[in-house]
Every structure is written in C-alpha cells, then in structure tokens.
C-alpha cells in the first residue's frame, strides 16, 4: 500500500497537477492539506472518476484537509478532539481496510504559529498538545497508524538548507521541535528518516527569493508511523520533481510503501 501526503495549497488551483500526479504515482491513499475549499466546492466527482473515495473537512478560503483512497473509507472522523470551540479545519482521520487488515490514517494541517509571542503561537502549541493526546489514545489500539501531513515543524537543523534563517520562526522554535520529539517518544517513527538520514531531504520551498532554484528548502511534511505500521515500512520518498511543474504548490508529495 502506497500512502502519500501533500499540502496542495488550493485544490482548485492545483487540480490538474493533482490529477496528473495521481495517474503518474498511483498512490492508494492520499492525505491532502490546505485544500482551501468547502466540502461542496471540492472536486469530488472528478476525483472519484480517477478511482478514489473521498472524505473532506473543508473551510472557505483557508485550511481544509482530505483523504483520498482507492479502498473504502470507514470510521471517518472530522476535527481534532479536545476543543469543541476550534473551528479551523485541520484534521481528518479514517480507517482504510485492505487485504491485510486495516490502516488508520490521519491527514493533519498543523498551525503555522507565526508570529512568535502572539495568540497564533499559543494556538499552535495548544493544538500540538491536543494532537499528542490523540496519538496516545490511538496508540493504545495497537493497530497500524499513519499520521500524515504538513506539520509546520522543522524537526532538526538537518531538515533545513539554512537553519540559521529559521531561528526566529515558529516552525523551528524549541517548543515546536520538542512537540515533535514527544510524538516520537509516544512510539511513532519518522518514515523519511527511517530510510534516509542524510541532508537535502526537503518538502517545501518558498515561492520567494528563488528558493526552489537555490534548493533552499525545509522538511515540514511528515509521515509518522506506529510500530505496527513501521514494521511494514518498505520504502519512503519525496516527489520533489512536482515543485518544478507549472503553477506548483510550494510543497511536494511525500510517500511511503507498506508491505504485508
């Protein structure tokens, strides 16, 4: 089973790129973030015509997440538990059955948190705290779990071309990085680092200042695996070539392959 995550940065603006990539890469499950669309405006029919079932949590103009799956989507849950007053569309999970059992998959678009010292950074940390509670709850099920998405966290200096440029950014703050480590401490495996611990493994290049041309990137899109999923990890990669496409997202797809 191939599972991918992609911050699409606007489903309407990037639908042609998404359709091309789905045909090219053939993923079984795709977690999308920042769809910037309400559910009624999401191109469900066009994606279903490509062979995918669809679950969406949308929001007009901002945020929004979705899961696309060649397999049925069961037990779909929308929104991260822990704050009934949180209206930002950032989290959706589902159970995906296959011939080997099931995989629980979540698509998450975590808060950016900038500027530091504002309510936006406080919201980021509170949201990550809720996510940790969700992870602990799901890990108790002892089932294959994939937490995928745009984490808006640069885990280590190795995950940035110029780490010094990010020292005053919410993505690279000690509190943000500590939250990532706490997720790992709950038993989750960073799939990309499980197969490649070298530099240059970026998933985001800003549109400004020629960042793509200079390969001035960062790694903020991740797939974290429970032990039951990590045991089945066969490969992981980053489809960085999509960043060179016409009208690209500033993020690229990241994927894993799970065996039986």
CB-CB neighbours of 103 under 10 Å: 26
Contact, 108 vs 90, CB < 8 A?
A: yes
What secondary structure letter does DSSP report for 143? S
Instruction: Tell me: is residue 98 an annotated ligand-binding position.
Output: no
The DSSP H or E segment spanning 174 is: helix 174-185
How many C-alpha atoms does 19 have within 13 Å on its Cβ side?
13
Contact, 216 vs 209, CB < 8 A?
A: yes
Instruction: Tell me: is residue 250 an annotated ligand-binding position.
Output: yes
The rounded distance, in Å, linking the Cα atoms of 64 and 6 is 12
Tokens of 42: 């999401």
Instruction: Tell me: is residue 34 an annotated ligand-binding position.
Output: yes
Tokens of 184: 């790992």
Instruction: Tell me: is residue 142 an annotated ligand-binding position.
Output: no
Task: Give which of 149, 215, 157, 109 is closest to 5, Cα–Cα.
Answer: 149
Instruction: Tell me: is residue 239 an annotated ligand-binding position.
Output: no
Outline where the chain has alpha helix (H): 11-25, 44-49, 119-139, 174-185, 191-195, 227-230
Apex 224 CA angle, 221 and 229, nearest 5: 140
Instruction: Tell me: is residue 7 an annotated ligand-binding position.
Output: yes
The rounded distance, in Å, linking the Cα atoms of 75 and 64 is 19
The rounded distance, in Å, linking the Cα atoms of 112 and 48 is 31
Contact, 8 vs 253, CB < 8 A?
A: no
Q: Would you please indicate which residues are annotated as catalytic (active-site) residues?
A: 109, 150, 251
Residues making up the binding site for Mg(2+): 7, 34, 150, 152, 250-251
Residues making up the binding site: 7, 34, 150, 152, 250-251
């Amino acid at each position: 089973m191939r599972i991918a995550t992609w911050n699409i940065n606007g489903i309407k603006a990037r639908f042609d790129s998404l359709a091309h990539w789905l045909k090219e890469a053939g993923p079984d499950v795709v977690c999308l973030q920042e769809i910037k669309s309400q559910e009624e405006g999401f191109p469900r029919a066009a994606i279903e015509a490509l062979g995918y079932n669809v679950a969406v949590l949308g929001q007009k103009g901002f945020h929004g997440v979705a899961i696309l799956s060649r397999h049925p989507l069961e037990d779909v849950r929308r929104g991260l538990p822990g704050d009934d007053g949180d209206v930002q569309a950032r989290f959706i999970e589902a159970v995906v059955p296959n011939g080997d059992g099931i995989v629980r998959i979540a698509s998450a678009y975590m808060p950016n948190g900038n500027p530091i010292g504002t309510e936006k950074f406080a919201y980021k940390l509170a949201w990550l705290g809720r996510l940790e509670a969700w992870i602990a709850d799901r890990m108790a099920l002892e089932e294959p779990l994939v937490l995928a998405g745009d984490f808006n966290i640069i885990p280590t200096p190795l995950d940035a071309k110029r780490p010094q440029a990010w020292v005053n950014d919410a993505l690279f703050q000690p509190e943000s990085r500590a939250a990532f480590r706490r997720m790992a401490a709950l038993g989750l495996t960073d799939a990309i680092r499980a197969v490649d611990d070298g530099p240059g493994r970026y998933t985001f290049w800003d549109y400004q200042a020629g960042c793509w041309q200079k390969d001035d990137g960062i790694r903020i899109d991740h797939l974290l695996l429970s032990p039951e999923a990590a045991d089945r990890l066969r490969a992981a990669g980053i489809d960085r070539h999509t960043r060179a496409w016409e009208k690209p997202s500033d993020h690229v797809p990241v994927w894993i392959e799970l065996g039986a």
